[in-house]
Amino acid sequence: MGARLRPLKQHRFPDGEALVRAEPHPERNALVVRTLDHPDPKLFETMLAADALRRGGARRVTLVAPYLPYMRQDTVFEPGEPVSQRVLGAMLALVFDRVVTVEAHLHRVRTLREAIPCRAISLSAAPVLARWMKSRAPDALVVGPDHESTPWVRKIGRAAGLKWIVGRKERRGDRSVRVHFDDVPSAGRAFVIDDIASSGATLAAAARALRQRGVKEVDAIVVHALFAPGSMALIRRAGVRRVISCDTIANPTNAIGCAPLVARALEGIA
């Protein structure tokens, strides 16, 4: 983007409270860039950064969060639970004019603005995933683990010119998942794709099901590589040959860059 980079300074008081300092600046627009995996220690610091920048001269402050947390709890699944997505959205809208992220986990709302009441945008990683897959395996099968992934998987498959299918997922717990496929086209290689990988249970279940149906090589591709302890071993045991991720969260599996995607979007809404 040709934008000036100004690192923020952080201080931690003995009691654990955070202080964020921003140098005074002449720029009217400020972008706070921070991915929010392991979010609880980061969120309040990020909000303090927005206030510091505004007091330092910024008229408009945008949060660029390649990964945005707390999007999965978008309804009350069990009595007494919060709608975490709305709580986070209200907090961010208090201090940011705009929020830009990649593949927010939106299942029961159509746009990010419904969750965050400001100019909020969730960018699709489908184009960069499609280009990556097409350039490396032009005859592979694109696989989504469940019905909710259908629009996304269809978009990726069509953009890459590849066959695609989705499975039926049966979740029995955070780490207990089964995936069923009614029909698997003949393919020597398959890419199982998902927006978020945390426990690895979904990717592992999909890979086992595909290999049982005769697919010889299974790779896993995810946008947000959360990967809890033990998840990678679980995925490998299921027969996944390679795990690839976007760079929205720093991880050794990062291979697909999203910075140009975000930069183009920011230039378009400046």
8 residue type, one letter: L
In a domain, 262, yes or no: no
Check whether residue 64 and residue 51 sit in a common domain.
yes
Kindly state whether residues 152 and 103 are assigned to the same domain.
Answer: no
User: Is residue 203 predicted with pLDDT exceeding 80?
Assistant: yes
pLDDT of residue 175: 64
Task: Tell me how far apart the alpha carbons of residues 239 and 218 are, in angstroms, rounded to a whole number.
Answer: 7
Give the pLDDT of residue 270: 56
pLDDT of residue 236: 95
User: Average pLDDT for residues 14-35, to the nearest whole number?
Assistant: 91
Q: Is the pLDDT of residue 261 over 60?
A: yes
**DSSP secondary structure of 214-263:** T--EEEEEEEEE---TTHHHHHHHTTEEEEEEETTS--TTEEE--HHHHH
Q: What is the mean pLDDT of the chain?
A: 92
Domain enclosing residue 170, as ranges:
126-256
pLDDT band at 36 (very low <50, low <70, confident <90, very high): very high
- In this prediction, residue 73 carries a pLDDT of 86
Domain containing residue 95: CATH number: 3.40.50.2020
pLDDT grade, residue 74 (50/70/90)?
A: confident
| Cα 93 to Cα 63: distance, rounded to the nearest angstrom | 10
Domain boundary residue among 100, 123, 146? 123
- At residue 70, what is the residue type? Y
Q: Quick one: 195 and 182 in the same domain?
A: yes
| Average pLDDT rounded to a whole number, residues 224-250 | 96
Secondary structure of 156-206 in HEC code, one letter for each residue: HHHHHCCEEEECEEEEEECCEEEEECCCCCCCCEEEEEEEEECCCHHHHHH
pLDDT per position as a tens digit, 114-171: 999 999 999 999 999 999 999 988 889 999 998 888 999 999 999 999 999 999 888 7
The percentage of the chain sitting over the pLDDT mark of 70, rounded to a whole number, equals 98
Same-domain status, 73 and 119: yes
Task: Report which of residues 124 and 77 the model is more confident about.
Answer: 124
Domain boundary among 98, 123, 148: 123
Mean pLDDT of 64-81: 92
Give the mean model confidence (pLDDT) for residues 176-195. Answer: 87
pLDDT at position 188 over 90: no
Q: Give the per-residue pLDDT at 174.
A: 59
Q: Residue length, the chain?
A: 270
Question: In this predicted structure, what is the pLDDT of residue 129?
Answer: 96
Verify that 92 and 159 share a domain, yes or no. no
Could you tell me the pLDDT band of residue 3, with boundaries at 50, 70 and 90? confident
Report the domain count for the chain.
2
Helix axes 150-160, 126-136, angle to 10 degrees: 50
> Which of 77-86, 171-180, 212-221 is predicted with the least confidence, judged by mean pLDDT?
171-180
> In whole angstroms, what is the distance from residue 87 CA to residue 151 CA?
27
Do 79 and 176 belong together in one domain?
A: no
Q: What is the pLDDT of residue 226?
A: 95
Mean pLDDT, residues 234-255 taken together: 96
| CB contact at 8 A, 116 and 84 | no
The enclosing H or E element of 194 equals strand 189-197
Indicate whether 219 and 103 sit together in one domain: no
Rounded to whole angstroms, the Cα distance separating 74 from 129 reads 26
Mean pLDDT of 23-38: 90
Give the 3-state secondary structure of residue 69.
coil
257: Cα separation from own chain's centroid: 13
Same-domain pairing of 90 and 159: no
